[in-house]
Structure 1
């Protein structure tokens, strides 16, 4: 496969390309979302709304491919490139190809953001970080009172799921929100064992507990904050039904708190959302996390303070997009 050429590089040359590759000759700077299965992404609306509000001749484009080398070629050689978001299947695979990792990227072991810095000799350095943990943190802190946030410190938290987002959630709950124990609920114990092992190897695995049964859940102190990071599928297998019953047991405890429901596609009206609202929990939609992780990316790419970014305009644009029937 030929390498992408500068000024004509916005989509992969695979049968899966969502749109024809546009020219970038008219742009001052360009960034991308590198990944596969990204046609539904809200990220272009977020970043391009921000650039428009700041009157920057920048654009954020989808680059859909399974070929990591194509993405790295762009990042290393395209003069107008200033950064990229990274999603599946590259969030771990890209790490060995980067020159620098931030503490968050190193600890979480997954990268969702590439940004540029220069070495003393002027060489372009590809740097990687993880802003998912910032998105989780800000989605929670921006939507609860200071008192409720303070009550999370030293109290249990809970994470539903065992995928890549779970690692960022553990980091956020441990490092930013000060949770003590963190309950991990998932249909697949092996996935959770991997999360615990990886977090432990990076120094923040203390207090992580896999919850395997309703009986165990009934004995636990209720968490003050929950992050749900699973798709919105109805339970079918025995382990899926057990997981659902554990979640219902935890949500039904006397202690209530805030739950961040990360799933918002194809609809934010998930089963977990409904269960939590019925049980009296404060529900925060996953779009909030997506917005804040994206704003953090622009803060890094543009080297600006968050206070200088058009946060409300971005929120309004994303809310309008989410409300469209096709989403």
Structure 2
């Protein structure tokens, strides 16, 4: 039986531990924190991620805990709709609920170790599932693989009550992004991003909220409503970090999954989805092939797809947070929205 250490007990780490063959691997999950994060956030599960959840046997439970997501309006910074985008088959689920379901799927044979990991555990294979600031990536891939700090601050939070009527969607202003979407139990999930010198660590959430209110106040009734109801206790404030291209995902007895492998800006909403797909793909290969062959196959299957999404997410961030090019961007999006409505009208005839 091979010893396998998973560093990181988040989405990727728990999904991997839940899907590995317990008769083939003795798995230990190393997690810094024994309790979930105190602030709730919401995740979109795209069809590819749902297939991974289905393979793990927990898709019905995720569907029961989540809600449908049909699409959203893309708005300018003042709230006017630029275009409407549909996203059929997407499920919205809270991060806490997804982690609870993944944790419940982990076999009792998996060992748990809590506390910070300063050096690599001794094992036949060490899995870096420890996020953008991965100790595993830095230890094995070297200092050049450290996470890179973006100029953007990101806030995410939950408020009580449904989305204000006619105000849901994503707002793209000049160098500013704001999102309002439904959350579970009739609540509202919101997020915002803009350039900021706060941080990079130890950001005071109350200060970040005050700065965000100053940025967005008076632009739209929906944003005003959300920010008036937002509280520090229900808000996360973090600088956005990304992960450089690592060259390959497996080397020297270690392999990377999730944000440790391809941490990206949140603009496509694919980080959690790709983490699940990484974990299930890697587990399937490890369960069925010799270790070296499984790692080579994992690299081939996941590198191109996940790195393409990382690049696309960065491009989307630049578009959404455009500053000098914002008027041109909005004009092109309005044209695209009109063309889409005209096309839909033709199809209806």
Compute the TM-score of the two structures, normalised by the length of structure 1.
Answer: 0.28
Compute the TM-score of the two structures, normalised by the length of structure 2.
Answer: 0.26
Higher strand share: 2
